[in-house]
Amino acid sequence: MRKAIISVTISILCGSSLPAQQSAASTQTARQALMEMFFSKTLGTFIKHLPAVTRAALEKSGVLAGLQQYSLLATQIQTQQQNVQTFETGSVMLSGEDPKTGQKVEIIVENDALRGDQDDIGLSFQVYKNGQVQRTPFMPQLTFSMKKEAQLWTLSEISLTLHLPLADPDLLKAVTEKLQPQANTSVTFTPRVETSVASHVETPAQSAATDAQVVSAMRTILTAEVTYATTYPTVGFTCMLSDLDGFGGGERNEHQAMLINSGLASGKKYGFVFMLSECTGAPARGFHLTAAPSGYSYGRKAFCSDQSGVIRSPQDGNSATCLASGTPIP
């Protein structure tokens, strides 16, 4: 079942097409940008929505030209697909059917959390066979984190969540059948634990950070901002955590300042979402930094700061009112 979901999903993702592109990138939503990136047949739309630092690294490594052909591959596979539709609004982003297997896949928008220049879009998948829903105890969900760079939405991170409901009847049936002892044989059940290759994807235990750790992470970003503005005076402060990142090779530049690690630059650390905003002017003379709890940390208090370097925490826990009425942290 999992192989069928992956096969149908990949073929549909590669073969679908978008409505006419937006006339200006500034009017494009994060969802439209994500659809254009993966579903458009126009050459170059995939790399167009990659972060600038990623494009620079790919170009330096010599693989950028190959990725530019992604849209051509999508066009070739398009001829083999039928009844594919994409939707810019609503709960369904894509609906398509593979004529070879008779399977239908829907890509469902589970959530669309827009916060300033960042939008986290959570997607799940539903598979049908001859009109019947195909049940599976494994329910993968992908979250695409989109961020704005120069008024263009770019894909900054992809997160995969795999839900395993231990009380699901189908899962219990599959497990118990495999564990039933055979005649004259013994059964040994050894759990297998797989770890993610993405070091910044945290477990619940890693997310259970203290307030001191969150405040320390904010001070790291604040110090990096001051260093960044001093190093690049024509730019000033930056609202892109990726600009402060230490990822990549070569010389430091305004898009790769090498001031913080990639885990913190991802914007998700200790069960909090760190976000920069309000970098206005050229050069930018100020910025806002917020740290809002998410996931396993819901219910914790939020934090905020700005170019003054004073870290505050709101009494009501709302990061939106933090700078105006938050209490300074010693």
pLDDT for residue 136: 65
pLDDT for residue 23: 47
Q: Do 160 and 136 contact (CB within 8 A), yes or no?
A: no
Give CA–CA dist 15/9, Å, rounded.
Answer: 10
pLDDT classification of 180: cutoffs 50, 70, 90: low
Mean pLDDT, the chain, whole residue set: 75
pLDDT for residue 170: 63
Give CA–CA dist 104/49, Å, rounded.
Answer: 28
> Among residues of the chain, what percentage have pLDDT more than 70?
68
- More confident of the two residues 159 and 72: 159
Q: CA nearest 302: which of 279, 266, 273, 277?
A: 273
> What would the mean pLDDT of 239-268 be, rounded to a whole number?
85
Supply 274's token pair: 């760190």
> What would the mean pLDDT of 190-198 be, rounded to a whole number?
40
**Hey, is 125 helix, strand or coil?**
strand
Q: Do 257 and 245 contact (CB within 8 A), yes or no?
A: yes
pLDDT for residue 137: 60
pLDDT reading at 254 higher than 60? yes
Q: Do 81 and 16 contact (CB within 8 A), yes or no?
A: yes
pLDDT reading at 219 higher than 80? yes
pLDDT for residue 146: 92
- More confident of the two residues 19 and 262: 262
Of the ranges 23-32, 84-93, 311-320, the best mean pLDDT one: 84-93
Supply 37's token pair: 């990136």
- More confident of the two residues 129 and 248: 129
pLDDT reading at 159 higher than 80? yes
Expressed in angstroms, the distance from the first to the final Cα of the chain is 54
Give CA–CA dist 68/82, Å, rounded.
Answer: 25
**Hey, is 170 helix, strand or coil?**
helix
> What would the mean pLDDT of 105-109 be, rounded to a whole number?
85
pLDDT for residue 135: 65
pLDDT for residue 306: 93
**Hey, is 156 helix, strand or coil?**
strand
Of the ranges 42-51, 131-140, 198-207, 228-237, the best mean pLDDT one: 228-237
Strand partners, 269: 272
pLDDT reading at 151 higher than 90? no
pLDDT reading at 278 higher than 60? yes
- More confident of the two residues 188 and 306: 306
Q: Do 254 and 241 contact (CB within 8 A), yes or no?
A: no
27 CB contacts (<8 Å, ≥6 apart)? none
What torsion do the CA atoms of 20, 115, 235, 157 make, to the nearest 10 degrees?
-70
- More confident of the two residues 324 and 137: 324
pLDDT reading at 249 higher than 70? no
Burial of 264 (0-12, 13-18, 19+ CB in 10 A): buried
pLDDT reading at 35 higher than 80? yes
Residue with tokens 């050229």: 282
pLDDT for residue 8: 45
The model's pTM is 0.46
pLDDT for residue 22: 42
pLDDT for residue 142: 86
Give CA–CA dist 238/150, Å, rounded.
Answer: 12
Residue with tokens 């995939």: 46
pLDDT for residue 185: 46
Q: CA nearest 311: which of 259, 258, 284, 274?
A: 274
